[in-house]
Amino acid sequence: MSQSSTAIFGARRDQAFPTLSEADIDHMRRFGEASAYAAGEHIIRAGDVAPGLIVVLSGKVDITQDGLGRRETIVTHGPGSFVGELAQLSARPSLVNAEAAEPVEAFVIPSRRVRDLMVQEANLGERIMRALILRRVGLLESATSGPIIIGPSGNADVLRLQGFLARSGQPHRVLDSGSDPCAKTLVERFDVDPHHLPVVLCPNGRLLMNPGEKDLARCIGLLRPIDADTLYDVAIVGAGPAGLAAAVYAASEGLSTIVLDCRAFGGQAGASSRIENYLGFPTGITGMALMARAYNQAQKFGVEMVIPDEAKLLSAATDNSGARYLLDVGDGETVRTRSVVIASGARYRRLDVANLSQFEGTSVHYWASPIEGRLCAGQEVALVGAGNSAGQAAVYLASHARKVALLARGGSLDASMSRYLVERIKAQPNIEVLTETEIEALEGEEGNLATVRWRNRVSGQETTRPIGHLFLFIGADPNTDWLAQCNVALDAKGFVRTGSELGPEHGLMETSRSGVFAIGDVRCGSVKRVAAAVGEGAQVVAALHAYLARDGSPAVTPQSMIPKSGNRFPEEDHASTKRYFRRE
């Protein structure tokens, strides 16, 4: 292993690259097929789909990742080792190369059988899953494998593509076309006009000119075509906490499940810099880490992930194939399903300032990740918001920025923010809390913010500060525009109506259309918390089993999932919270 790789895996190297015992190998053999490779044979190439998890019986396999003009060895697998990382869990293209350093005897476990191994051999599966995750973490930290983004530093499209790959858990590199010698060499080699920057060089050799997220996802194999012949038990729209929880529980209960999301997994929770009051994590956890675990867990149970792809229309199926609903996702693709779970969450609210769009993507941000943290290092920034997400972001940014001005419309943070966050903000010497304050104007040139002017609502005093980055955490609105023509009842604010609001015949999470359910932030009356969303995701699976049983579906309904009161949940009266989209 190279020095850099050793430093990345550190003390957890033995967990990332375990050596299997003879007993372990014997348990795994029934899931695989024998294979052999000659010395020097390329077993896997980065950008190609690997045959599966490769268990080495004899010989050695070099695992390498391609740098710019050089190849770095990550590890050499010997007898008792296995080749693979998270890409092999869902048959996505490999991020690394594998080459036989000498003649190799092995057996290969295809991706679909890897999932069977995880379920049927629990202890062994746990060790393998941990290794796959740690290997991906190592690739992310090395920032050597994966697609290469080349463009001007701070460019809006560079930040957009970088943010998409980061939130999708995809290793990547970003090269500044203005200062990085390697970037300049690539621009010259591919004869790229500067006006066409940024460009993305994919592992398979394709060069994309300022691609959209969907085009980039297709190029790197993250997004695959939808199989028009597959009939799913449930299609889940949205991969936030509610959607991922529903996917995990549905798939683990034997329902064929597909999940769609128009951006990336994790939803708003995935953008949280730290969650400290989520049950079971006494030291806290970042939203991205929590949601990545859920995403990997769903794939472990065989959930088909279609991200980023956007649901555009929900309609009734008219054929005799067993499908009740069709989900149009554009590009001529349609998902056929027996039931639907709407978990499309919310979209960020925008500030009512005339020229806001001029600075979005470069200087105005809706989440605070390490990418934004690096952008504002040593600078003064402004943040608008008074909920938990705003508090988490302010504390996180304070560790990077010279000063954080926290602007809130109300007279106090206590009415909308958890007490522990209020106390932590007070303890940060470089966070200035400005209550009863609103943004009045933004000024700058060529998309780069230069000054922010705000006004105190009580005194009327205006203040102008030289600020280059503005963060907005002012709540969110339900992401239900796509349901406008879908005959799903919404309330006056656009939230999906469910349960007793529609009549006594409707279950708690059932919408106005039979077989269509709504959970999480998008549902009228839901508690806008990560834990509540996860709970609804778990709870809706019982309702799905009951519906599919009534509908004549062959899906099996475990006895533990049948509500004691019958096929529907007992009605519950959940009062609508006034603190919309308050997060942990």
Would 546 be classed as within a structural domain? yes
Here the CATH number for the domain that contains residue 409 is: 3.50.50.60
Domain boundary among 161, 194, 220: 220
Examine the pLDDT at 370 and tell me if it is beyond 80. yes
Assess whether 117 and 214 both reside in one domain. no
Q: Clarify whether residues 129 and 19 are in a common domain.
A: yes
Residue 67 CB contacts under 8 Å (≥ 6 apart), including other chains: 144
The residue out of 414, 443, 474 marking a domain boundary is 474
Q: For a pLDDT cut of 90, what percent of the chain falls above it? A: 79
The amino acid present at 522, given as its one-letter code, is V
Distances from the Cα of 309 to the Cαs of 261, 262, 507, in angstroms?
A: 6, 5, 29
Of 41-45, 66-70, 81-85, 115-119, least confident by mean pLDDT is 66-70
Burial of 189 (0-12, 13-18, 19+ CB in 10 A): exposed
Q: What is the pLDDT of residue 6?
A: 52
Is 575 inside a domain boundary?
no
Predicted pLDDT at 69: 66
pLDDT over 70 at 391, yes or no? yes
CATH of the domain at 214: 3.40.30
Q: pTM of the predicted model, to two decimals?
A: 0.89
d(CA 279, CA 573): 24
Alpha carbons 92 and 74: distance in angstroms, whole number: 20
Q: Could you tell me the end-to-end alpha-carbon distance of the chain, in angstroms, rounded to an integer?
A: 40
Distance from C-alpha of 575 to C-alpha of 578, rounded to nearest angstrom: 9
User: The dihedral of CA 147, 148, 151, 153: what is its sign?
Assistant: positive
Model confidence at 473, pLDDT cuts 50, 70, 90, reads very high
Q: Is there a domain that residue 580 lies in?
A: no
Domain shared by 338 and 372, yes or no: no
The Cα-based distances of 456 to 390, 407, 433, 462 in angstroms read: 19, 10, 12, 7
- pLDDT band (50, 70, 90) for residue 78: very high
Among the three residues 163, 187, 220, which one is the final residue of a domain in this structure? 220
Task: State the burial class of residue 453 (Cβ atoms within 10 Å of its Cβ: 0-12, 13-18, 19+).
Answer: middle
Q: Give the pairing of strands 207-209 and 199-201.
A: antiparallel
Q: 583 in a domain, yes or no?
A: no
**Closest Cα partner for 110 from 49, 26, 46?**
49
Among 2-16, 184-198, 290-304, 539-553, the range with the most confident prediction by mean pLDDT is: 290-304
Q: Is 88 inside a domain boundary?
A: yes
Q: What is the pLDDT of residues 143-165, one digit of tens each?
A: 888 999 999 998 999 999 999 99
- Window from 31-35, 103-107, 482-486, 572-576 with minimum mean pLDDT: 572-576
Could you give the dihedral angle defined by the CA atoms of residues 88, 89, 95 and 97, in that order, rounded to the nearest 10 degrees? -20
Tell me the average pLDDT across 314-318.
Answer: 92
Q: What is the pLDDT of residue 277?
A: 87
Q: Are residues 369 and 422 in the same domain?
A: yes
Residue 403 pLDDT more than 90? yes
Same domain as 545, residue 398: no
pLDDT at 565: 38
Q: Give the pLDDT band of residue 507 (cuts 50, 70, 90).
A: confident
Tens-digit pLDDT profile for residues 411-441: 999 999 999 999 999 999 999 999 999 999 9
245/252 Cα distance (integer angstroms): 11
Amino acid in position 247: A
Whether 584 shows a pLDDT value over 80: the answer reads no
User: What's the Cα-to-Cα distance from 469 to each of 198, 445, 476, rounded to whole Å?
Assistant: 22, 13, 20
The string of pLDDT tens digits covering residues 533-583 is 999 999 999 999 999 998 765 444 443 343 433 333 333 333 333 332 333
Shared domain check, 500 and 486: yes
pLDDT of residue 9: 65
Count of structural domains, the chain:
4
Per-residue pLDDT at 564: 39
Flag whether 450 is in a domain.
yes
Confidence of residue 132 (pLDDT cuts 50, 70, 90): very high
Same domain? 532 vs 505:
yes
Mean pLDDT score, 374-378 = 94
Residues 79, 16 share a domain: yes
Q: To the nearest whole number, what is the mean pLDDT of the chain?
A: 90
> What is the percent of the chain with per-residue pLDDT over 70, rounded to a whole number?
92
- Mark whether 88 and 210 lie in a shared domain: no
Cβ atoms < 10 Å from Cβ of 502: 14
Structure tokens at 66: 């391609």
Q: Are residues 190 and 253 in the same domain?
A: no
Helices 111-120 + 122-142 axis angle, to 10 = 130
List C-alpha distances in Å: 240 to 132, 263, 529, 576.
23, 10, 12, 20
DSSP state letter for 281: -
SS3 371: helix
Burial class of residue 2 (count of CB atoms within 10 Å of its CB; 0-12, 13-18, 19+): middle
Using CA atoms, how far apart are residues 286 and 281, in angstroms rounded to an integer?
Answer: 10
Work out the average pLDDT over 66-76: 83
3-state SS, one letter per residue, for 401-429: CCEEEEECCCCCCCCCCCHHHHHHHHHCC
For the chain, what is the total number of helices (H) and then of strands (E)? 15, 31
Residue 189 lies in a domain: yes
My answer on whether 165 and 17 are in the same domain is no
Q: What are phi and psi of 554, to 5 degrees?
A: -75, 0
Print the domain residue range for 196: 148-220
CATH code: domain of residue 41: 2.60.120.10
Q: Does 226 reside within a domain?
A: no
Residue 134 sits in the same domain as residue 34: yes
Q: Does the pLDDT of residue 234 top 90, yes or no?
A: yes
